[in-house]
Amino acid sequence: MTTARAWVLLLPATLFLVVGFAGPIVFLGWTSLSVKDGGFGLEQYRRFLLDPFYRGFLTETVVISLVTTAVCVVLAYPLAYQLARTGARARSVLLMLLIAPLMIGDVVRGYGWLIALGDYGVLNQLLLSAGLVAKPIRLIFTPTGVVIGLVQVLLPFMVLPLAAAIGAIPVDLEEAALSLGARQGRIFRKVLLPLTRPGLAAGVVIVFALAMGSFAIPMFLGGVRVKIVGPLVFQQAMLTADWPFAAAISSVLFATSLLLLVAYTWLGGGARRGLEVVGR
C-alpha cells in the first residue's frame, strides 16, 4: 500500500530522468560512434584524443576546473563559517547576497566580467590610474580570467554544502577545543575540517562537475585562446555541424568528469555522505 504510493510519487521524477538524461546519453554515445560513410567506429574518438590540438582542450579544461575548485574551497570556508555561525537575521541577508548572483544568467555575468576585466576595463583603469601597472594586464582571453569568472559563478555551490556541514557542528565543540588550549588553526584542522568532509566532498563534486561542463563563462572570458571543451562542442555541433565529433567530445568530457569524481570520492571518503549533507 505504502510502497505502491511511494512508487507513484517516484514515477514522474524517474520518467523525467530516463527521458531527459539517460535517453540523450545513449543517443549521444550512439551518434559518437557513427562514421562519415555510414557504419560504426571509434574514428571520432581517435581524432579527439590523438590530435594534440584537440587533446589540449581536454587537459586545459581539467586544469582550469581543478584550479577553480581549489580556489572555491579556499574562499568558501570562511564564508560558509560566517554563514553558519551568525544569527538568523544576518544569515538570511548573507544567504540572499550569496544566492542573488545565481538569479542573473551566465551570459550577463560573462559580459559583466568582460567589462570589468578587459584591457581598458574597470580593473585595469583602476590599476593604471593608481600607477600600479605601466600597461594594462591581460586578463580576458587568459586561463586566469576564465578561473575568475568560474569562481564567481560557482562559489555558492561550494559555500552552501559547507555551511550546512558547519551548521551541523555544535558550537560547543569549538569552545571545548578552545578551553583545551587549541587555537583557531588547530580547531580548523582537527575539528572543523574532519567534521565537514562530507560537505566539502559535496561542494567539490558539484563545483568540479559544473566547471568541466561550463560554457558561457569560457565563451566570453576565454575567447578562442583558452581551450575549453564546452565552447568546442558548441562550435563543432552548431557551426561545423559535425554532430558525431561533437558527440564524441561530449562523451569524453562526461567520462573524464565521472572518472575524476569517482576517484575523488573513493579517496576522499563518501560522495553518498556528501550528498546527504546537501539533502539536509
Could you tell me the smallest distance in angstroms from the CB atom of residue 59 to other proteins?
37
Q: Is 226 helix (H, G, I), strand (E, B) or coil?
A: coil
Among 103, 194, 267, 279, binds other proteins (CB under 8 A): 194
Could you tell me the smallest distance in angstroms from the CB atom of residue 183 to other proteins?
6
Q: What angle do CA 238, 243, 248 make, to 5 degrees?
A: 120
Contact 63, 256 (CB under 8 A): no
**20 vs 194 by CB, closer to other proteins:** 194
Using CB under 8 A as the binding rule, whether residue 276 contacts other proteins is answered as no
Q: Binding-site residue total for other proteins (CB under 8 A)?
A: 17
List Cα–Cα distances, 9 to 14, 19, 23, in angstroms: 9, 17, 21
List Cα–Cα distances, 33 to 21, 27, 236, 256, 280, in angstroms: 19, 10, 16, 18, 41
Which residue is associated with the grid cell 523525467?
16
Among 53, 183, 224, 279, binds other proteins (CB under 8 A): 183
**195 vs 237 by CB, closer to other proteins:** 195
How far apart, in whole angstroms, are the C-alpha atoms of residue 202 and residue 210?
12
Among 28, 191, 210, 260, binds other proteins (CB under 8 A): 191
Could you tell me the smallest distance in angstroms from the CB atom of residue 194 to other proteins?
5
Could you tell me the smallest distance in angstroms from the CB atom of residue 192 to other proteins?
11
β-sheet bridge partners, residue 40: 34
Using CB under 8 A as the binding rule, whether residue 280 contacts other proteins is answered as no
List Cα–Cα distances, 261 to 83, 137, 167, 249, in angstroms: 27, 35, 25, 18
Could you tell me the smallest distance in angstroms from the CB atom of residue 182 to other proteins?
5
Using CB under 8 A as the binding rule, whether residue 185 contacts other proteins is answered as no
Using CB under 8 A as the binding rule, whether residue 90 contacts other proteins is answered as no
Residues 152-181 that bind other proteins (CB under 8 A): 170, 172-173, 175-181
Among 67, 70, 195, 237, binds other proteins (CB under 8 A): 195
Burial profile 78-100: b = 16 or more Cβ within 10 angstroms, e = fewer: ebbbebbeeeeeebeebeeebee
The binding site for other proteins (CB under 8 A) comprises 170, 172-173, 175-183, 186, 190-191, 194-195
